Structure 1
Amino acid sequence: MTTTASTAAVPDLAALQRQAARRAAERAGGEDRLRGHIVCDGLVRIFKTEGVEVVALQGLDLVIDRGELVAIVGASGSGKSTLLNILSGLDTPTAGIARVADYDLLALSHKKRLAYRREMVGFIWQQTGRNLLPYLSAVENVELPMKLAGRHGGRRERRERARRLLDLVGVGYCADRRPGQMSGGEQQRCAVAVAVANDPEILFADEPTGELDEATGAEVFAALRTINAELGVTIVVVTHDHAVAGQVRRTVAIRDGRTASEVRRTARATADGGTELVSEEYAVLDRTGRMQLPAPFVEALSLRDRVRLNLEPDHVEVRPGDRTHAEESE
């Protein structure tokens, strides 16, 4: 099922995505390694508390290609934060497949899990205070991960790299400021630089604009797009804000622990020779043929219990099912 949602004349987003794909191909060592950077197949996560089982993920399927910038959206309790914790190595799935590059997240030893979190991924928290050490300047915060990992040469090389990263996310002027001397948006952009200090393949962000106003949040997303385009880092952003669909090329919606729908934005030539991005929404079909109908569709047609399916040459019709005997006798 495909519906054209909206169009917008934002050709720079398409150009950034192409640049990100080129950078990702360079990092991966060729186009043949671009696909399937993150793969989830039938992913299940069950929490047990005082004898009660809560199923946070119910067989979730997801594929994210190398170099993509993807937003994962969903209401509170949908499972999006659980997914992010699994993919970032902070939590372990109960069953299914969760693979990031060459790492099987269900089979990692404690030592390999630490190496995975230190070398493969970067992470940005919603709370600005969790991303930066308050007694260090911005440039010192960015240097710290490099120093702890013993990477990127000596002190001078680390300092130069830290300043380049701060410039890249637009806060080079904050290099000598401590977090308390910066705004929330400046702190989050510094956090982006810290998260990629060790050149990870993937950057995860948990509600990075949740404590910011719309304009400041847009600046943080601009920093993420720049990092994606310039460094080819795969970026996964979890948020409850559906407005981020206009900030990224692909948005995945999670409902009740499963992927429910996607919004993809593709470039299309216009009659005047320009470029526009067309937004299209898709229902996600899992490997068993199941999909979730969008809630507004269900409500508009009062669908419940069962529906009728009619196979046409080029599409499938979904109609309300038969009324029950009780309803007919009313």
Structure 2
Amino acid sequence: MASPTTTAAPVPDLAVLQRRAAERAAARAGGEDRLRGHIVCDGLVRIFKTEGVEVVALQGLDLVVDRGELLAIVGASGSGKSTVLNILSGLDVPTAGIARVADFDLLTMSPKRRLRYRRHTVGFVWQQTARNLLPYLTARENVELPMRLARGLRGRAARKRATELLEMVGVGYCADRRPDQMSGGEQQRCAVAVAVANDPEVLFADEPTGELDEATAADVFGALRTINAELGVTIVVVTHDHAVSSQVRRTVAIRDGRTASEVRRSTRLGADGAEELVTEEYALLDRSGRMQLPAAFVDALSLRDRVRLNLEPDHVEVRPGGTGNGERS
């Protein structure tokens, strides 16, 4: 079920950045054959128990993210998107299913291996700017700290690398400033530099632009795109910001604890020879053949309870069903 739409291409650089990210990711992985399936979720379940009440946050979620990809996950509050991020970053443990990042099985990992995973394999950016930086350290010192903990890098080498990362995300001028001397956008871009200071394979960002205005949010997301392209780091961003989600090649929507739909963006040459951005939306099919229709489609046709399916040679028709007594609804 694809509904392609074509718009003028204000983002030809998106394809360039994507190609560059794939090249850097291949170099990190040691070859093209290791690019696929950097993050894999299969039938992922997470159940929370509070005072005898069970809440099912994830109901068999499936997701595959390729190495070097920049992916946005969107969904309404309570859909399960932050739960997914917490599991993949090692902050939470799934109840059942498969969750794998790189060579780490997040379901069976020991506490010691989980600590190593969080220290060396992943980076994290929180929505709240105050959670990302230590207030009594300068921006450069904040970036140097995870280098010491994860890589043992100190002195002049650590200082040089910290300066490079701050310049890469566009805030090299903040190197000697403490967080209270920076704006919210500057703090978040510094946080991106801190998150990749341990040279992680994957970077997770939970609503990194949630507390920022539109212009400042664009700067922060630009920093994420630069890190993705220049370092080949796989990046997964959870966001409500449609402006952010529209700047990535792939957006996955989660609904009721399952992946529901996916938007893919690609470029092609138009009739005039110029590049056009093509957007296609898909419903996701699980191994049992189940899918979720987009809420807008359900509302537009007032679909309720059951639908009629007709198999055609090259597609499946979905029509409003009967009322149960043979009459049309």
Could you say which TM-score interval applies, normalised by the shorter chain? over 0.9
Q: How does 1:1-330 map to 2 (within 5 A)?
A: 1-9=1-9, 10-152=11-153, 154-325=154-325
TM-score of the pair, normalised by structure 2: 0.97
Q: CA deviation at 1:247?
A: 1.3
Distance in 2, matches of 1:184 and 1:134, equals 13
Q: CA deviation at 1:7?
A: 2.2
Q: CA deviation at 1:59?
A: 0.2
What are the Cα deviations for residues 240-298 of structure 1, in whole angstroms up to 9, with x where unaligned? 22332321111000000000001110011122322122111110111111100000100
1:210 alignment partner, SS class: coil
Distance in 2, matches of 1:23 and 1:213, equals 31
Bigger drift between 244-253 and 196-205 goes to 244-253
Bigger drift between 242-251 and 112-121 goes to 242-251
Q: CA deviation at 1:6?
A: 4.3
Distance in 2, matches of 1:198 and 1:7, equals 39
TM-score of the pair, normalised by structure 1: 0.97
Q: 1:101 is matched by which residue type in structure 2? A: A
Q: CA deviation at 1:216?
A: 0.6
Q: CA deviation at 1:78?
A: 0.1
CA contact (8 A) 1:67 1:234 kept: yes
Distance in 2, matches of 1:262 and 1:241, equals 16
Q: 2:129 is matched by which residue type in structure 1? A: T
The alignment covers a number of residue pairs equal to 328
Distance in 2, matches of 1:193 and 1:8, equals 33
CA contact (8 A) 1:151 1:198 kept: no
2:115 alignment partner, SS class: helix
1:204 alignment partner, SS class: strand
Distance in 1, matches of 2:38 and 2:137, equals 34
Q: 1:269 is matched by which residue type in structure 2? A: L
Distance in 2, matches of 1:127 and 1:48, equals 26
Q: 2:28 is matched by which residue type in structure 1? A: R
Q: 2:52 is matched by which residue type in structure 1? A: G
Q: CA deviation at 1:4?
A: 1.6
Distance in 2, matches of 1:248 and 1:78, equals 21
Q: 1:321 is matched by which residue type in structure 2? A: G
Distance in 2, matches of 1:88 and 1:315, equals 39
Distance in 1, matches of 2:74 and 2:36, equals 22
Q: Percent identity?
A: 81
CA contact (8 A) 2:151 2:198 kept: no
Distance in 2, matches of 1:40 and 1:305, equals 29
1:2 alignment partner, SS class: coil
Q: Which stretches in structure 1 are left out of the alignment for 5+ residues?
A: none
Q: 1:146 is matched by which residue type in structure 2? A: M
Q: Which stretches in structure 2 are left out of the alignment for 5+ residues?
A: none
Q: 1:2 is matched by which residue type in structure 2? A: A
CA contact (8 A) 2:6 2:276 kept: no
- Compared CA separation, residues 6 and 217, structure 1 to 2 (3 A): farther
Distance in 2, matches of 1:187 and 1:280, equals 35
| C-alpha RMSD of the superposition | 1.4
Q: After the TM superposition, which segments of 4 or more aligned residues of structure 1 sit over 6 Å from their partners?
A: none
Q: CA deviation at 1:326?
A: 10
2:297 alignment partner, SS class: helix
